[in-house]
Amino acid sequence: MNPAEVLEKARQERYRAEEQEALQRRGDLRQMKRLLRYLRPRRKQVAIAVLFSVLIAILTPLPMVIIKEAIDVYIMPGNYGGLAMMAGLLLLSAIVIFFLEKTSHYMIAKIGQQTMRDLRQEVFSHIQSQPLRFFDRNPVGRLITRVTSDVNVLNELFAQGVVGIFQQSFSLVVILGVLFFFNWQLTLLILPIIPLIALASWNFRNNVFVSYRLTRVRLSRLNTFMQENITGMRTVQANTREDPQFRLFDELNRAHRDAHIKTVFQYALFFPIVEVVTTLGLAIVVWQGGRMFLAEEAALAGAVTVGQLALFVQALERFFQPVKDLSEKYNIVQSAIAASERLFVLLDTKPTIVDPEQPVQPGVGAGRIEFRDVWFAYNPGEWVLKGVSFTAEQGQTIAIVGPTGSGKTTLMALLCRFYDIQKGEILVDGVDVRDMRQADLREKIAIVMQDVFLFHGTVAGNVRLGRDSITDERIAEVCERTGFDNVVRRLPSGYESGVKERGATLSTGEKQLLSFARALAFDPQILVLDEATANIDTQSEEQLQRAVATLCAGRTSLVIAHRLSTIQRAHKILVIHHGHLVEEGTHQELLRRGGLYRRLYDLQYREQAAG
């Protein structure tokens, strides 16, 4: 087999395993108990909704009974007098049922929506409380699905499922009771069709469960594929991968269609079967009921009235509606249980980085940083930082250099406590970062990274980032001081111009300038620049230097930089290699030393120095 075939086989295997897994998991009713807890804050409304459902179920046979009475008491004996009243009663019962149904539908939908809102709030705030390590492991798409579609499936369960199933089952029993009450002999005769329906719906549910699950798995596969291909369209087109990707898409698309057609087939089979069985019941009523009415045999004489026959015909036609509905709802219940399992797994993931119970107020100092023998690994045993110690005095600018992958970005992330270290201590103004509230710590620090994230909104909104205390004048000031105002001037509506994360209205370098302005507006005690100048073109070198100098002035700054000019200005340079702090000193000291810094300088910076 060539490598392509091996890959292809692995892919098919993975798909099969995914589908198998989806089919094996059947809902665990214990999940339902936990779900019902979400109804607790609204238990009064739920009680009323349930009460209404009971009323509706009890009233369902009322119109049929009125018609029966009209036939037996008025029409057959030739009594004109009461007909208008019976017609009036019929209308009245319809009106009562209408109001009950309207109210209960509305109430149930409202309960469902409010519960969904609560649940979404809970899931979102839970996601927010997770440390970055969590996001390293959970793809964005998966988390979005939790908050949107999984919650929606639960809504279907709340809105139609729980109360609907209850009402339907109850009305089935009520109708049967009414039939028994008026004519138990005829009722006994039609009872044998019930096992037939039970068998058919059991079979339907099993088959439709399989195809329905397959449809869902394949649909989500299709979605993931679409998402990846749209996001990565630039890469696809640049490498002319359109045709192979299109063929893969076609394959996924077909698989989804086939599963869906199977689902449709199950419905196409089941509903007519219900009709046939209903007709079977009607045939029994016509045949046996008719014989009872005609009273050929003395024992049966007068055992049935015309009104009763009419009642049975109407009841039979209504009788299996609940069966149909219940079978359809089986899927809702199943997928809701699956969705709730996934939601609960998410909600049960405890944040691994938490605030201390008795947080220490950060000291009055203004940004002294100390790393003491810091050891850190993203994955157990794979040390990324190995015993790093250094101090940055208040107001100093510290440059950090080292080859790609040596652990520079990790150092910054640890300072912000995005991850917890395994050994050692990180102190900010003399307090261990684990002893402060995360909010207090991060209040002191502004980070500017190579990839700048812009939120959908305006330029000004992206500088302000929700801090209402930052005035428009302040925004204009910081933009001017960082040189971003030159960019803003070119934009159609200045500070009110719209930006989008993927809208590409700003170049990467321009976005970095924006994030400089963001940091300056924030005015932190500690500033972290992680290759924040990598994408700003060299024409604006001088301006850039000024911007960086403005940013660093008066605060402790850790700067990971590619640019010699930035490094030269630093009070101290730390050289990181394979997670070790190998050299430390000023530019001149390190050059004289002739170690790793010297080599990096010769490789990367000398050109810049010359140019």
Ligand X SMILES: Nc1ncnc2c1ncn2[C@@H]1O[C@H](COP(=O)(O)OP(=O)(O)O)[C@@H](O)[C@H]1O
Which residues make up the interface to ligand X (CB under 6 A)? 136, 378, 384, 402, 404-410
Could you tell me which stretch among 97-105, 229-237, 404-412, 566-574 binds Mg ion (CB under 5 A)? 404-412
Our CB check for ligand X shows the closer of 240 and 404 to be: 404
Backbone angles phi, psi at 472, to 5 degrees: -60, -35
Residue 406 lies near Mg ion (rule: CB under 5 A): no
Three-class SS of residue 306? helix
CA dist 492 and 499 (Å) reads 11
Our CB check for ligand X shows the closer of 408 and 481 to be: 408
Could you tell me which stretch among 155-163, 247-255, 409-417, 588-596 binds Mg ion (CB under 5 A)? 409-417
* Tokens encoding 373: 């023998």
* Tokens encoding 140: 């964005």
Taking residue 121's Cβ as centre, other Cβ atoms within 10 Å add up to 11
Cα 123 from chain centre: 8
Question: What's at 286, amino acid-wise?
Answer: V
Of 180, 177, 183, 172, nearest to 309 by C-alpha is: 183
Choose the contact partner of 128 out of Mg ion, ligand X, none; CB within 5 to 8 A by kind. none
Q: Which residue has the tokens 């050994």?
A: 423
Tell me, by CB under 5 A, how many residues bind Mg ion: 1
Taking residue 54's Cβ as centre, other Cβ atoms within 10 Å add up to 15
Residue 533 lies near Mg ion (rule: CB under 5 A): no
Choose the contact partner of 483 out of Mg ion, ligand X, none; CB within 5 to 8 A by kind. none
Backbone angles phi, psi at 295, to 5 degrees: 55, 50
Min dist CB 530 to Mg ion, Å, is 6
Contacts of 160 (CB under 8 A, 6+ apart): 108, 329, 332
Could you tell me which stretch among 101-109, 225-233, 247-255, 407-415 binds Mg ion (CB under 5 A)? 407-415
Residue 263 lies near Mg ion (rule: CB under 5 A): no
Our CB check for ligand X shows the closer of 17 and 132 to be: 132
Min dist CB 462 to ligand X, Å, is 25
The sheet carrying 431-432 orders its strands as 383-392, 369-377, 423-428, 431-432
* Tokens encoding 519: 């940091």
Our CB check for ligand X shows the closer of 397 and 410 to be: 410
Cα 125 from chain centre: 12
Residue 104 lies near Mg ion (rule: CB under 5 A): no
Our CB check for Mg ion shows the closer of 408 and 587 to be: 408
Choose the contact partner of 523 out of ligand X, Mg ion, none; CB within 5 to 8 A by kind. none
Residue 305 lies near Mg ion (rule: CB under 5 A): no
Min dist CB 7 to ligand X, Å, is 24
Our CB check for ligand X shows the closer of 400 and 431 to be: 400
Min dist CB 570 to ligand X, Å, is 17
Our CB check for ligand X shows the closer of 410 and 533 to be: 410
Of 575, 197, 572, nearest to 392 by C-alpha is: 572
Contacts of 580 (CB under 8 A, 6+ apart): 386, 387, 388
Residue 566 lies near Mg ion (rule: CB under 5 A): no
Contacts of 199 (CB under 8 A, 6+ apart): none
Min dist CB 576 to ligand X, Å, is 7
Choose the contact partner of 53 out of Mg ion, ligand X, none; CB within 5 to 8 A by kind. none
Min dist CB 392 to ligand X, Å, is 18
Choose the contact partner of 201 out of Mg ion, ligand X, none; CB within 5 to 8 A by kind. none
Q: Which residue has the tokens 């009663």?
A: 89
Nearest-Å Rg of the Cα atoms of the chain is 36
Min dist CB 379 to ligand X, Å, is 6
Our CB check for Mg ion shows the closer of 411 and 487 to be: 411
CA dist 463 and 396 (Å) reads 25
Min dist CB 559 to Mg ion, Å, is 12
Choose the contact partner of 327 out of Mg ion, ligand X, none; CB within 5 to 8 A by kind. none
Residue 409 lies near Mg ion (rule: CB under 5 A): yes
CA dist 454 and 462 (Å) reads 6
CA dist 65 and 179 (Å) reads 10
CA dist 135 and 146 (Å) reads 14
Give strand ranges (E) for 365-419: 369-377, 383-392, 397-401
Choose the contact partner of 405 out of Mg ion, ligand X, none; CB within 5 to 8 A by kind. ligand X
Min dist CB 449 to Mg ion, Å, is 9
Q: Tell me which residue has its CB nearest to Mg ion.
A: 409
Min dist CB 391 to Mg ion, Å, is 22
Min dist CB 536 to Mg ion, Å, is 17
- Please calculate the CA angle 114-116-121 and round it to the nearest 5 degrees: 100
Our CB check for Mg ion shows the closer of 201 and 409 to be: 409
Choose the contact partner of 168 out of Mg ion, ligand X, none; CB within 5 to 8 A by kind. none
Min dist CB 421 to ligand X, Å, is 13
| Secondary structure of 219-273 in HEC code, one letter for each residue | HHHHHHHHHHHHHCHHHHHHCCCHHHHHHHHHHHHHHHHHHHHHHHHHHHHHHHH
Dmax over Cα atoms in the chain, in whole Å?
124
Our CB check for ligand X shows the closer of 243 and 382 to be: 382
Contact between 190 and 278 under an 8 Å Cβ cutoff? The reply is: no
Contacts with Mg ion in 171-190 (CB under 5 A)? Answer: none
Our CB check for Mg ion shows the closer of 412 and 517 to be: 412
Our CB check for ligand X shows the closer of 130 and 406 to be: 406
| Contact set with Mg ion (CB under 5 A) | 409
